[in-house]
Every structure is written in structure tokens, then in C-alpha cells.
Amino acid sequence: MSRFIFLCGLFCLVGCAHFRCDPNYTGPQQRDHSLIQYYSYQHTDIDEKIEKIEDKNKYLVYKVEFPHRGEIIRIDYYELKSEGKFPTLLVSPILEGNYTLAKNFSKYFASNGFNCALVYRSKGLTTVYPDADSIECLLRQTVIKNRRVIDWLTEQKKVDSEKLGSFGLSLGGILNSITAAIEPRLKCNVIVLAGGGIADVICGSKTPEVRNIKKAIMKNKGISSKELHKDLLKKINSDPVKLAKFIDARGVLMYIALFDWVIPTNCGKRLWRAVGKPEVIYLPCGHYTSVLTVPYARYQSLKFLKRVLK
């Protein structure tokens, strides 16, 4: 079995296609006042609780919790042991399941010179989907939550606040791309197996988790799939495709799976075009089978992050 997995992974790596950022890209658009206001929040002191949970050779891992708008934000903060200030990443995980994959990348980056803040999912992201308005509210609140995490990071003595980036997987990539469009402090963003627009992702995905969201909304509102798509187009403002023009493509690396039916491949390509055709790696696999390319993705992501942030 291990030999089979190795051969499958080798096949995927051989078929990867890597393209640099469009040389004709001229830069992002300026964020307007109304956009900034929509994602604004009250800047208050953060009263955090911190507990050390791991002690590794090159870094420590802390469990960090602090209240925010009726919920408790949970972060696993990977802090380098060396003296000095270091580039730091906001890490966002997949929609459901455990945090194994996000922790795998966080440990790798921390072992190679980056602090990491793995942000745990809000409960509403996996339990509350009555209508399009609720999805928009959740997306907006998650962006504000990410911004509060960035506030906390900039207060840490080993964080170089001029060298902040993000790394997001699947839903985490969607959320981080929205955050990057709003948050100028993020200078570098690795977006893995994400896409937009939201209406096309929800109505086009074939994964049970997303299809359940679709069915729940249709049942709750008494509408058809076509009507749902139209409603989502109208009401989802926090869509990475709509906001992508505010992201600097020169600081973005995307991964797109060519046979993705979870976040459809055409949605990934659409986001890539909307950002401005940033650096991209095409993986010859599906959403779940892309796990075979994790060692390759870690290496390429680290190389990109070092190039942009160091």
C-alpha cells in the first residue's frame, strides 16, 4: 500500500504545472472607504489566555484564547525560540474534520523560520446556513475575526508586523483571500484549492458537506437550485472574486486541482483570473487526492514565502 501511495504521489508531482505571475500585471485597485467601513470593528484591548501545549526543538506552541463578539477565538500559536522578530503566517484550515493538515503545514513553516497562528473555525461555519444572508454574515464576521487575530499578532514581541502573510486550505483559502482583499497588513498569501464566486461553489460542489448546505437553504427558503444561485449572487458581498482586485497578485501563490469537484476547478481558475493571474501551480489530481502532493506543496510554498517575505 505504501508503495502504491508513493507512486501515486510521484505521478502527481511529475504532472504539476507551475506558472509565474502575469508579467503584464500592473497592481491592485485601491480599497474604497465603503469597503473599509463594511469590515470595520472596534479596536479594544485583547484579554487573552495563554497556555503552552508543545515544546519542540525550534519552536513552542501556545494555545491562545480571547473573547470576540460573543465567541471565543482559539489560536494555536507557533512561536520560534530564536531571538528576534520573524515573518508570521495566519493559517486557516479546511471546512470540517480535524486540524491535522493545517497543523502539518504550520509545523513545517515553524521549523523553517516562520511564526504561525492557526485559527480555529467558528462554530457557525459548520452549523448555521439558513439562507444567503446568514452566509454573508458568517463570511464578514470571519474576516473581522481574522483581523482581530492579526491585531493580536502585531502585539507579540517575536512577530515582524511588516512581514505578515497567510496560508489557507480549501475554505480556509477562500476566507484568507477575502481577508487579504480587506487587510493591507497581509503582504503575502498562499491560497490552496480555493475558488469563487461563492454562488458557483455552493451550487456546483459535489461534496456532501457543501451539498447539505445547499439543500438546507433550499428547504428553509422553499426555493429551487436556480433561485438559490440567483439569491447568492445578489446577497454575497464577501466573495473572493468580487474582492480579488484589491489583492496584490505579486504576493499570491495559488494551487488549483485540475480534477476538483469539491471546489470546482473552474471556480479556482475564476479566482486566479480575478486576482490578476498570480503565480499558480496546477495539480493533476482532485481535492482530496491532492494530499499526495503535500510534501511538494510545503516545499514550494516555503520557497515562495521566503522570496516574498524575507
93-136 pLDDT, tens digit each? 998 888 999 999 999 999 999 999 999 998 766 566 678 999 99
Dist. CA 91–CA 169, nearest whole Å: 8
Is the predicted pLDDT of residue 85 greater than 50, yes or no?
yes
Would you state the cell numbers that stand for residue 250, as one nine-digit string? 505579486
pLDDT value at position 6? 43
Q: Among 39-53, 161-175, 204-218, 268-282, name the one with the lowest average pLDDT.
A: 204-218
- Residues 265-276 have a mean pLDDT of 98
pLDDT band (50, 70, 90) for residue 176: very high
Evaluate the omega torsion of the peptide bond into residue 197 and state whether it is cis, within 30 degrees of 0: yes
29-77 pLDDT, tens digit each? 999 999 999 999 999 999 999 999 999 999 999 999 999 988 999 999 9
- Residues 254-270 have a mean pLDDT of 97
In percent, the amount of the chain with pLDDT more than 70 equals 93
Q: CB within 8 A of 10, min separation 6: which ones?
A: none
Q: Which strand (E) or helix (H) includes residue 307? A: helix 294-309
Task: Report the relative pairing of strands 49-55 and 71-80 from DSSP bridges.
Answer: unpaired
Residue ranges of alpha helices (H) inside 15-86 are 33-38
pTM to 2 decimals?
0.93
Q: Determine contact, residues 68/148, Cβ cutoff 8 Å.
A: yes
pLDDT value at position 126? 58
Is the predicted pLDDT of residue 79 greater than 60, yes or no?
yes
260 φ/ψ angles, rounded to the nearest 5 degrees? -90, 120
Is the predicted pLDDT of residue 9 greater than 70, yes or no?
no
Nearest CA to 154 out of 83, 90, 91 is that of 90
pLDDT value at position 36? 95
Q: What mean pLDDT, rounded, does the chain reach?
A: 93
207 φ/ψ angles, rounded to the nearest 5 degrees? -75, 140
Q: Which strand (E) or helix (H) includes residue 62? A: strand 59-68
Which domains does the chain show, CATH number per domain?
2-309 (3.40.50.1820)
- Residues 203-232 have a mean pLDDT of 91
pLDDT value at position 213? 85
